[in-house]
Amino acid sequence: MARSKITVIGAGNVGATTAQRIAEAGLADVVLVDIVEGLPQGKGLDLAEAAPVVGHDAHILGTNDYADTAGSDIIVVTSGIARKPGMSRDDLMNTNAGIVKAVVAAATAVSPNAILILVTNPLDVMCHVALQASGFPRERVLGMAGVLDSARFRTFIARELNVSVEDTHAFVLGGHGDTMVPLPRYSTVAGIPITELMSPERVAALVDRTANGGAEIVGLLKTGSAFYAPAASVFEMVESIVLDRRRVLPCAVLLQGEYGQDNLFVGVPVVLGSNGLEKIIQITLTADEQAAFDKSAGAVREQVALLA
Ligand code: APR
């Protein structure tokens, strides 16, 4: 059986690290695309030259030409620009929307059966842009945010309780960023809700740190944003699709009535398999949780309305 083919658009920090993870796991052949000439070719060749040492046979190609991406099974979109001084959030959103629209149109034209995974921020809004630009059904347009947000929450839970990260689970809903909605009662250590293991104040502190997790990294790096954990999070989604593992992961998907929202991309727990979105898992929220979720969804809806 031929290896899967995965295109990663944007050969920057997140894109290149994602390509590295996919190739080095031997999961799929990777095509790395960027608008900057030489960048994807250079990183692609460098990654290929690591293969003999790492010991994998995945092919890695760097290119500026979408013809090379034809027939991809998955397309990961990380292309975009970072916010520059003097630029408003809305300016950034519309600039990145233009980039995402163009790359999704070019890539899906030659890979009409691919599954799209969006990473570019503002994430939930970019999913709307990609859905429209591709004309794909909602099953094949997914946003990576919840896996990252819950990974951050799990890291802080494990550190707080001095236990293995592997035994932690976190349940996160809503839009990516400061309005995300972590559900502590479903966030557990070996099945035990964290509300049994730490005080409400400590839970609130960890939730707050998680919601501001992206900004914390930007504050430290100063010249860029997080990429190791985002790339690892994309990899987890890609692996579940390629191997049809049916992992239950929080992803941004188009809600059509689920959780009380219609025609809106926002993070909810889903089953990810070879068809992309296999199933949305719905749970009954408490009144407080639903209110927080609605607030988060409202913030995403406002941003979507600002798309030029
Ligand atoms: N086509 C292809 N690539 C493009 C285009 C385009 N039209 N426009 C920009 N790019 C490329 C840039 O050349 C750059 O190499 O996208 C890449 C982005 O890389 P970085 O600036 O390193 O950004 P990164 O840290 O990887 O983050 C990418 O993911 O997590 C989100 O908020 C983050 O939106 C950002 C995205």
Instruction: Please report the pLDDT score of residue 222 as a whole number.
Output: 87
Which two tokens mark 23? 């190739």
**Ligand 1 proximity of 102 Cβ (cutoff 6 Å):** yes
> Do the Cβ atoms of 300 and 271 come closer than 8 Å?
no
Task: Give residue 250's pLDDT.
Answer: 97
The structural domains of the chain, ordered by start, are 4-143 (3.40.50.720), 146-305 (3.90.110.10)
For ligand 1, atom 6: residue with the closest CA: 35
Taking the CA of residue 96 as reference, the ligand 1 atom at the shortest distance is: 34
pLDDT of residue 1: 67
Q: What is the model's pLDDT at position 190?
A: 98
Q: Give me the pLDDT at residue 178, please.
A: 81
Around 170, how many Cα atoms within 13 Å sit in the side-chain half-sphere?
25
C-beta separation of 28 from 73 below 8 A: yes
Q: Return d(Cα 196, Cα 54) in angstroms, integer.
A: 43
pLDDT of residue 245: 98
Paired tokens of 63: 């290119």
Q: Whose CA is nearest to atom 22 of ligand 1?
A: 12
Give yes or no for residue 77 CB within 6 A of ligand 1. no
pLDDT per residue over 11-41, tens digit each?
999 999 999 999 999 999 999 999 999 999 9
Residue reference for tokens 């296999």: 278
Q: Candidates 35, 104, 176: which one to mutate for ligand 1, based on the most atoms within 8 Å of Cβ?
A: 35
Q: Is 15 in the pocket of ligand 1 (CB under 6 A)?
A: yes
* CA 224 to ligand 1: nearest atom: 25
Range list of β-strands (E), the chain: 4-9, 28-33, 60-63, 74-77, 115-118, 141-143, 168-169, 172-173, 181-182, 188-189, 192-193, 247-256, 262-273, 276-280
Annotated catalytic residue 176: yes
Q: For ligand 1, say whether the CB of 217 is within 6 Å of any of its atoms.
A: no
The model's pLDDT over 185-237, given as tens digits with 9 standing for 90+, comes to 999 999 999 999 999 999 999 999 999 999 899 899 988 899 999 999 999 99
Contact 196, 85 (CB under 8 A): no
Pocket test for ligand 1, best of 8, 31, 36 (most atoms within 8 A of CB): 36
Phi, then psi, of 209 in degrees rounded to 5: -65, -35
**Residues of the chain with confidence (pLDDT) below 70:** 1
Q: Give pLDDT, residue 254.
A: 98
Pairing of strands 74-77, 4-9: parallel
The length of the chain is 308
